[in-house]
Amino acid sequence: MRELAGIVALVAGLWLAAAEAGFRSPESLVRNVYAHYGQGAPELSKGLPRDGVTARQFFDFPLRKAWSTPRAEPYDFLVQSPSWKLGPVAIAVVRRQYDKTYVAANFDNHGRRVTLNFILVNGPEGWLITDVETPHDSLRMFLEQFRN
């Protein structure tokens, strides 16, 4: 009986660890990023948090530390502005290439059109962001530029 309880506890712990990181589809990952930029509950309307838990849930290993390191950035890269009032977010998989999937996110922020291309990888933890690109920049370069 003890062995069975130990196995159940182990499986439950592994399930919870897997639930902390990654997402089941590329679209759900991007949709969950922008859930943090709404007009709803205050805890979900402050932008994507910069803590370690959020970094593990949304970003691949190399980008986690860069995301959660404190810095003084002039704007939030994921909405391309220091503030936001987003219109509907359109999400579409635009390309699957080897181990990466490219997902476009299009929306209006304060009436200005924004297009971002998320580069996602699928691993044991689920779907995670490896970079986000604009026509002129990438999240990795942006975070490196403004690191302390």
pTM of the model: 0.82
- Provide the pLDDT for residue 41: 63
Q: What is the predicted pLDDT for the residue at 30?
A: 97
Q: Which domains does the chain have, with CATH numbers?
A: 26-146 (3.10.450)
DSSP of 52-104:
HHHHHHHB-HHHHHHHHS-B--SSBTTTTBSS--B-PPEEEEEEEETTEEEEE
Render each residue's pLDDT in the chain as its tens digit; 148 residues: 545 333 434 334 444 444 455 799 999 999 999 999 987 666 667 899 999 999 999 999 999 999 998 778 899 999 999 999 999 999 999 999 888 999 999 999 999 999 999 999 998 889 999 999 999 999 999 999 887 5
Q: Which two tokens stand for residue 39?
A: 């007009």
Task: Tell me if residue 38 falls in helix, strand or coil.
Answer: coil
